[in-house]
Amino acid sequence: MSKKKIIFSTLAAFVVVGVAYFSFAPKHDKNADKIITVATSPCPYSEMFLDGVKPILEKEGYQVRSKNFSVLLNADIALNNGEADLNVDQHTAYLDNFNKEKHGHLTGIVKIPTVPMGLYTGEKHNLNDVAAGDTIAIPNDPSNMSRAYRLLAQAGLIKLKSGVNEIKLTQKDIAENPNGLKFKEMESYTIPRVRNEFAYVVLPGSDSYPAKVPSSDILYQEKLADAYYLVATVNQKDKNKAWAKAVKKAYQSKDFAEFVQKHNDTKYWVVPKQ
């Protein structure tokens, strides 16, 4: 075979291989970067996102899809595993605890409007009726349990030891309990169903809202610490992507501010300073 024929045959082979590669190689969907999958759970924050933020993102050309989860933990696991892009149902303290306990890689990109934790009526309807041995139901997950003890201290029902870390409180951090109160630590989503079994109960907004516990039953509302503001949460590897920046921009937009103002006539939401 002549040298010219060998060269021609070799070039032809490269052409065939090249055509085969570009015909069968996986193609990048140019629209994939415009799809945002949000992991939702039964909380007011997911509802606010879908009603107030999703329309803003859609105007920017994004498609917003939702995956529903019955509990926040499963939503976080999906987000951490790359099965979802975004979650809007947790505060920083919960996020940090998830990362620690589950070796997660989640991060908040912007603070969002938050429903403060509240001390609600149970069997009793007035804090002046507190009596020795009354039991208060509080959440048992570490971040919200700590938050609950902080709330009870703010309400004047207990006193905390000096110098304690208010993001990691437990019963051991109580210095004074003048009424001899007892505390039942339990799954927070179960508390609304058993309110009448306790003198009082402590509930985060993510549990009081879906259970339709009226705000008129709040006897004391927490003063929010920075770690307890809700944050729009993404996987760390995605925090600088265009869609993540679009989510942040939407939450900080004039349109969203007007939406919140329209739906906050009862001052149910606390709006963070950006």
Beta-carbon contacts of 174 under 8 Å, excluding residues fewer than 6 positions away, are 149, 158, 159, 160, 161
The least confident of 13-17, 131-135, 268-272 is 13-17
pLDDT band at 27 (very low <50, low <70, confident <90, very high): very low
Q: What is the pLDDT of residue 144?
A: 92
Which residue from 258, 266, 260, 232 is spatially nearest to 246, judged by alpha carbons?
A: 232
pTM of the model: 0.77
The string of pLDDT tens digits covering residues 118-128 is 999 999 999 99
Percent of all residues in the chain with a pLDDT value above 70, rounded to a whole number: 89
pLDDT at 112 > cutoff 60: yes
The answer to whether 32-114+227-262 and 118-223 have equal CATH topology is yes
The least confident of 13-27, 34-48, 95-109 is 13-27
CB atoms within 10 A of CB 251: 25
| CATH code for residues 32-114+227-262 | 3.40.190.10
- Domain extents for the chain? 32-114+227-262, 118-223
* Amino acid, single-letter form, for residue 155: A
pLDDT at 24 > cutoff 80: no
The string of pLDDT tens digits covering residues 146-155 is 999 999 999 9
**Tokens 């039991």 correspond to what residue?**
135
User: Sheet containing 230-235: which strands, arranged edge to edge?
Assistant: 87-91, 230-235, 106-111
* Amino acid, single-letter form, for residue 37: T
232 forms beta bridges with: 110
5 vs 145 pLDDT, higher one: 145
What topology does CATH give the domain 118-223?
D-Maltodextrin-Binding Protein; domain 2 (3.40.190)
| Region label for 156, one of left (φ > 0), alpha (ψ between -120 and 50) or beta (otherwise) | left
